[in-house]
Chains A and B, each alone.
Chain A
Amino acid sequence: MADLQSQDYIRRSASTMTPPSIRNHEQEVAKLIDVSRCIGCKACQSACMEWNNLRGEVGHFEGSYDNPSDLNPSNWTLMRFTEWENEQGNLEWLIRKDGCMHCEDPGCLKACPAPGAIVQYANGIVDFISENCIGCGYCVKGCPFDIPRISPVDHKSYKCTLCSDRVGVGLEPACVKACPTGAIMFGSKTDMKSWAGERVEDLKSRGFDEAGLYDPPGVGGTHVMYVLHHADRPSLYAGLPDKPRISPLVAVWKGIFKPLALAGMAFGVVAGFLHWIVQGPNEVQPEDEAHAAALIDPPDGKQ
């Protein structure tokens, strides 16, 4: 969303030069979503629409509390409801606020072919710079969390910005501001981790032995973290990936394959040129014409 300026970047998509970040004194930020305190009121969802001035199409009831039924270009965060019967046969209502995780190692940015369409700021926020976006959908393939959505209207990709425009001027994200139970917290990543530690302790003392923090190392950690009562099984929460990582297919495509292919093409051209200057063209000789003429019109007159 907000483009801040290039010295705030630590990563820039499809760029051969790393931008010279001078904001290395910047603290890494994080949003902590405490699933155990969420009541599913969707105030955060409304606040997100409100701040970003987004109004999606009115959809249809799909038989679930999820509303709308999926993330979309004008709905960057979504409460996902799961009814789960635990081992004791009790119903647990698991509610997870879905949205961009702001990965430390963002797969979307790795896959993006458009220079500067996806950037990461020194504070850790991963932002889509829409004016550079070409709408190819590669970020969708790069993301381990199935987050970006391409707008059919302007063919650009959209997702949660972590309110980079608010954070840039010292405000907390709109969802954090709106949450009535304090289930969404925002601050430096260090603070959020220690706060999460306290929450996990509390949950454990209340019988949730597997409570824990979701800050998946497979993507280098995330700048949106969850406190889960069942941190041993993240996928209970509407399919939150248990061990997210950038797909090896994407890693091979953007990692080893690209330079190899370009080197192969360059080699092909150079080999051709070398052959040309060493051996030169293959020219038809006068003898060839003479032989051919003799074949077509034999000197003795018969054919």
Chain B
Amino acid sequence: MTYMRGTLIRNTTATRINHWITGACFVLLMLSGLSMFDPVTFFLSGLFGGGQSTRAIHPWIGLVLVLSYCGLIVQFWRDNLPSRDDWAWMKAFGRVLVNEEEGVPELARFNAGQKFVFWSMTLLIPVLFATGIVIWDVYFSPYTTIETQRIAVLTHAAAASAAILVWITHVYAALWVKGSMRGMTQGYVTPGWAWRHHRKWLRRLVAAGSRGPTPRSGGRARGP
């Protein structure tokens, strides 16, 4: 990938491929799962070739999602560790919402909202996986009692709903904060974007002479 000159690398090619495999799996799981959730969304099963095939394919996509998300955990966990700035950012959240930058603290690679998305999914995806296995009737129904399966299906539906809410927040934030989307499609952001949203991250990159995504990565953050 050739990045625009004078830009910063927000996500490496490997990270982006990993992210979009995860995203594709999640969207497919959401559509196939919702089709089994309520009559009004049953028509979505048509996208997967009907009810039987939707039911059959959903857990397999889930398996891919889990593997793929593990990759994201490995790549992102360090930058998502809580820090003092998270609290300050949350207190300034009212300003963040109205696109006002005054009084919002300088931030490292991720803000508390992004960390919330990361940790929520890190919790919910394993829950979905564990409960999903229990209700994967074809292969696993003999190993649990019906009562356990009842708990599992309710928990699966609850965790899925929570994950979908988190996903809506995640997608909206990416559309709202201009320039973020390119950070995950083409992988780069402009220095101004970094200054505006992740100033500490920018300062660290500049201090380390790195082009990103982390101060340890090579390249120099220099203009043309």
Contacts and interface: CB of A to CB of B under 8 A. Distances in A.
Where chain B touches its partner, the secondary structure class is: helix
Nearest to A266: B168
Contact of B179 (A137, A141, A268, A284): A284
Given A293-B191, A296-B191, A282 B177 contact: yes
19 contacts: A14-B39, A15-B39, A16-B39, A113-B42, A136-B55, A137-B149, A140-B137, A249-B154, A257-B158, A265-B164, A265-B168, A268-B164, A281-B176, A284-B196, A288-B192, A289-B192, A293-B191, A296-B206, A303-B206
Contact of B153 (A253, A265, A289): A253
Contact of A288 (B37, B157, B193): B193
Interface stretch (A194-202, A218-226, A272-280): A272-280
Interface residues of A, number: 53
B87 interface: no
B216 interface: no
Contacts of A292: 190-192, 194-195, 202
Contact of B177 (A281, A291, A296): A281
Contact of A257 (B157, B164, B165): B157
Interface string A104-142: 000000000111000000000000000011111110110
Interface in A196-251: 247, 249-250
Interface string B126-163: 00000000010110010000110111011001100100
A289 B190 contact: yes
Contacts of B175: 276, 281
Given A261-B157, A292-B202, A295-B203, A150 B141 contact: yes
B149 A268 contact: no
Interface in B189-224: 190-196, 202-203, 206, 221-223
B137 A252 contact: no
Given A252-B154, A258-B38, A284 B192 contact: yes
Contact of B168 (A136, A252, A268): A268
A262 to B, nearest CB: 6
Interface of A: 14-16, 113-115, 132-138, 140-141, 146, 150, 152, 155, 247, 249-250, 252-253, 257-258, 261-262, 264-265, 268-269, 272, 275-276, 279-286, 288-293, 295-297, 303
B98 interface: yes
Given A247-B147, A268-B168, A292-B192, A135 B202 contact: no
B149 A141 contact: yes
B222 A296 contact: yes
Nearest to A298: B206
A250 B150 contact: yes
B223 A293 contact: yes
Contacts of B202: 292, 295
A59 to B, nearest CB: 15
B72 to A, nearest CB: 22
Given A140-B137, A268-B169, A269-B168, 9 more contacts: A134-B55, A135-B52, A137-B141, A140-B149, A275-B172, A288-B192, A289-B192, A295-B203, A296-B223
A136 B37 CA distance: 11
A137 B135 contact: yes
A261 to B, nearest CB: 4
Contacts of B221: 296
Given A138-B153, A281-B177, A289-B190, A114 B146 contact: no
Contacts of A14: 38-39, 42
Contacts of A253: 150, 153-154, 157
B51 interface: yes
Contacts of A115: 39, 42
Contacts of B193: 284, 288
